[in-house]
A and B are shown apart, each in its own frame.
Chain A
Amino acid sequence: MLAVQILIDGFAISALYGLGAVGFTLMFGVSGVLNLAHGATMVVAAVAAWVVAGQLAASPWMAAVAGTAAGVITAFATYFLVVRPIQRSKSVPAAEKEIFVLTGTLLWGIMIQETVAYFYTDNPKSVQPLIAGVMQIGGVRTPINELLIAVICWAVIGLLWLLVHRSKAGKVLLAASINPRALTLLGFELSRVYLSVWAIYGVLAGIAGVLLATFLGASSAQASQLTASAFSIVVLGGLGSVAGSLLAAYVVGYLETLTAYLISPTYRSMPALVLLVIVLYVRPRGLLGRR
């Protein structure tokens, strides 16, 4: 009984973590950018969905679409206003681009967060579940929405996998993550590749944000927390490794759920952090990391 419960709850939350982290890691893998405005992007999507659903009284599905769109827009804004200027800047020494992109996106994230808080307060917002109601699984009452979320997450991740491994465009992304210079020599414009990555990233972060809003509710105050969790999951799994991030997401998800059930909700996030530290010291490149 308890086992089933842990199994089910852990599954949904982990799937959500996974979706949140996949975009983040894809972004790093292909364009080498760690986007610290990640959490803010998710929050924007969540709040956008909430506004469309609440203020404009649209259907949850409409809201979801709107939220995702908001995610994409935010992603592009981040790229064009912050990341690209830094990457192209001649005055920033190449060795320090990383720290500048980190600082830049960090500040940008704070700006987004403050804007959201200004217009919609930093209270958590929640969107109506796409499908309401509950069902019994192995004697455990589970909200259908929770299952739906898991399904959607996996569907999206599956689609992403197909896109990357089966489509021409995806191959180019993959190639860019392995050897961008070679891609240039083969006549592909990296700038376009990066653009498409940011688009994909926006969609992923957007969907994750919307689902978060339907599941747990999202608040602008959570932005940095969301970034941190995505960051640690990605590092745990290995920077740039999508599979690793998914694995890590489930490790973290279940670790948290187990702790919450068996020890106490208060200690929820601790074991995951400790694990992260251990992995960092013992195997810095993460569980499935290549570099």
Chain B
Amino acid sequence: MRAPGTAAAPLLEVQGLTKRFGGLVAAKNITFQVRPGEILGLIGPNGSGKSTVMQLIMGLHRPNAGSVHIAGVDVAGWPPHRIARQGVGIVFQHSRPLHRQTVLENIMLGLLPDNLLKVITNRHVHDKARQIAERVGLGGVLNRKPSSLAFADLRRMELAKAIARDPLVVLVDEPFAGLTSGEVAAFSRLIAEFRRDGRAVLLVDHNVKSIAALADRIFAMYLGERIAEGTAEEVTGDPTVRRVYLGGGIDVASRPARTARSTPLLEIQDVSVLYGKAQALDRVAIHVDEGEFVSIVGLNGAGKTTLFNAISGLVPYSGRISWNGSDLRGRSPAAIARGGIVQCPETRELFGDMSVRENLDLAGQHLAAAQAAQQLKWLFDLFPRLRDRERQIARTLSGGEQQMLAIARSLMMRPKLLILDEPTLGLAPLILEQISNALEQLRSNTPITVLLGEQNVTFALPHADRIYVLEHARIVWEGAPSRFAAEAAATYL
């Protein structure tokens, strides 16, 4: 047991850490310290660079600049295995256990020496592994295969492996993703114990809320840069953070009440999706009426993308998804897309080596030539930027332009229902403005129905007729935008 206390010298010290991937700056001059027995929360939306920072500390990438000190030793640029031996343990979000070995053997793996001559396991490795297993609450399943474990237990196993070597610094990636509230509590307790052991803990997550209870301090990132640092309250209060997550003040312009049709265009009834052991969607039920603009807000990892992929037939699901009253099950993703449900995915999925025009033409292949030409003209009016960039190779476009292209390409298919997944991901406010306007035009000038998934509420709200809030794989709130601020916003950040 190391003596806790903030006086002690920091175990983990990150100094001006910078990493560039080609043109993109994933982490820019990041500096923070974690002392023994301290828990630091590193938060930021997707693409904010928080994961990169974690990987840099672990040595999975080599930083362009800056230093990483573990207990005073600069390990920047070391290979991962040496950094690990220096005293860093990591809990990956997605575990890849040895499926043919038992839980105990998997944990033992973490205890083995990096030595070719150690062909026989000695007694105390067994005992140590048992102890650790007991400690993380795996005592009962020691001799089972990982494949037979519950998701939470798999996470426990990862935790056990990470702390097997009794590391000074523990990195945890999205500690609570995919866990039920009960399990979350249990995990919090485990992580809290690290504080008692005097380890330095770095929790990496999307938002403050999930780790506020646990973290002593929060370090918030956006677009590779530090935007705020301090206690959970301070950070949640921080205007920049609020702008990043919620945008500015929430606009609650009320909309004329719509007359809902008898049969909705898209109806989803208790749809559940499992990723291996992880519950990605839990009995979700939503409906979208003809011509309606529905926003699903929720943090990254809440399950929005999974829901959309289920609709597009890309992931297996239980439950029923019906389109114009007919069940979508059994139709190929392509058929669904041709049927009028077009998804514009979070990852954009552009044809990087093709020009803007080629990307659009591909989508237009289903239309008659005349139609396609007309549609193209309309899209170029909607996104004038794209007309200027017509011949440019998609890969070389700016993030915002790529997003416009992605949306335009989906519209090129003349969808009845357009699914927009995180169109604002990592985009600068100015671009958001333009995209926002485009959506507004869509909404007011076309009969198109839109299903928008967003974590940025200010972007999601203004256009929406109805809002669903998705949290931990469940729909937790449904209602008109006007009521969101009052009922949901508070719990949101």
Contacts and interface: CB of A to CB of B under 8 A. Distances in A.
B337 A179 contact: no
Contact of A185 (B342, B352, B358, B361): B342
A174 B365 CA distance: 14
A174 B354 contact: yes
B413 A178 contact: no
Contacts of A186: 337, 362-363, 409, 413
A200 interface: no
Interface in A104-119: none
B333 A184 contact: yes
Contact of B332 (A168, A171, A174, A189): A189
Given A182-B350, A185-B337, A190-B334, A175 B362 contact: yes
Interface in A164-194: 168, 171-172, 174-175, 178-179, 181-190
Contacts of B151: none
A50 B352 CA distance: 45
Interface residues of B, number: 26
Contacts of B338: 187
A181 to B, nearest CB: 6
A179 B362 contact: no
A169 to B, nearest CB: 9
A185 B362 CA distance: 11
A184 to B, nearest CB: 5
A184 B361 contact: no
B23 to A, nearest CB: 18
A183 B351 CA distance: 9
B363 A179 contact: no
Interface string B325-340: 0000000111101100
B352 A179 contact: yes
A185 B349 contact: yes
Contacts of A290: 353
Contacts of A185: 312, 333, 337, 342-343, 345, 349, 410
B366 interface: yes
A184 B365 contact: no
Given A168-B365, A172-B365, A184 B334 contact: yes
B362 A189 contact: no
Given A185-B345, A189-B334, A178 B352 contact: yes
A189 B338 CA distance: 10
A185 B407 CA distance: 12
A166 to B, nearest CB: 11
Contact of B349 (A179, A187, A190): A179
Contacts of B413: 186-187
A181 B366 CA distance: 17
Contacts of B342: 185, 187
B375 to A, nearest CB: 14
B177 to A, nearest CB: 22
Contacts of A187: 334-335, 337-338, 342, 366, 413
A187 to B, nearest CB: 4
A186 B332 CA distance: 12
B352 A188 contact: no
Contacts of B350: 179, 182
Interface string B364-376: 0110000000000
B367 to A, nearest CB: 11
Contact of B354 (A175, A181, A188): A175
A172 B409 CA distance: 14
Nearest to A186: B363
A178 B363 contact: no
Contacts of B335: 187, 189
Which has the most chain B C-beta neighbours within 10 Å: A178, A190, A290? A178
Interface string A261-291: 0000000000000000000000000000010
Contacts of A172: 362, 365
Contacts of B365: 168, 171-172, 188
12 contacts: A168-B365, A171-B362, A179-B349, A182-B350, A184-B314, A185-B342, A185-B349, A186-B363, A187-B342, A188-B365, A189-B332, A190-B334
Given A179-B352, A182-B351, A185-B345, 19 more contacts: A171-B354, A171-B361, A171-B365, A172-B362, A175-B354, A175-B362, A178-B351, A178-B353, A178-B354, A179-B349, A184-B333, A185-B337, A185-B343, A186-B363, A186-B409, A187-B335, A187-B338, A187-B366, A190-B334
Interface of A: 168, 171-172, 174-175, 178-179, 181-190, 290
Task: Give 10 nearest A-B pairs by CB, closest first.
Answer: A182-B349, A187-B337, A187-B338, A189-B334, A184-B333, A178-B351, A187-B334, A186-B363, A175-B351, A184-B334
